Homo-oligomer: A and B are copies of this chain.
Amino acid sequence: MGQEIERKFLVGSDGWRDRAVSARRFEQFYLFAGEDRSCRVRITDGSSARLTLKTGRGISRGEFEYEIPLEDAEALRLAAIGTPIEKTRHLVPNGANTIEMDVYHGALDGLVVAEIELASEDETFERPDFLSIEVTGDPRYLNQTLALRGRPADDKASS
């Protein structure tokens, strides 16, 4: 179990691509998704799978993550709500932090969202040029919303 504090931004340019140091491919879907709880299954690089429970709301949430057999994940996909999400996560070092750049595929193709994990809610960080508007706490950019409702109509700030 952990507390995660993350800030989320749309992305205004491709300036981050030269700074990316690694990439992983995620397929993920939800078994349930409510305002104060969600259950996600994520398959990484087609070879391993994790089940994640999130509880609570807002910038600080409880997170419980468990490795599960790949065959369980594939069987659970039959019970997915909404559309499974496919994305590539690129890691971009940024001072003492790392920015995760999520480049979506399939139905969400064209959407890019940046996330930075912080140790506390008031921790500052160097803000690179490629970040555009902040969408922390905007429910439209939760992955569970993207899975259920697709891409927001007005996110043109995203490249």
Q: Which residues of A approach B to under 8 Å, CB–CB?
A: 1, 31-32, 34, 36-37, 39, 51, 53, 55-56, 62, 64, 66, 68-69, 71-72, 75-76, 78-79
Contact = CB atoms under 8 A, between A and B. Distances in A.
Contact of A72 (B1, B34, B56, B76): B1
A55 B66 CA distance: 18
A68 B34 CA distance: 22
A72 B64 contact: yes
B37 A53 contact: no
Contacts of A36: 79
Contact of A75 (B32, B64, B75): B64
25 contacts: A1-B71, A1-B72, A1-B75, A31-B37, A31-B39, A31-B53, A31-B55, A32-B34, A36-B79, A39-B39, A39-B53, A51-B53, A51-B66, A53-B76, A55-B76, A55-B78, A55-B79, A56-B79, A62-B75, A62-B79, A64-B68, A64-B75, A64-B76, A66-B66, A66-B68
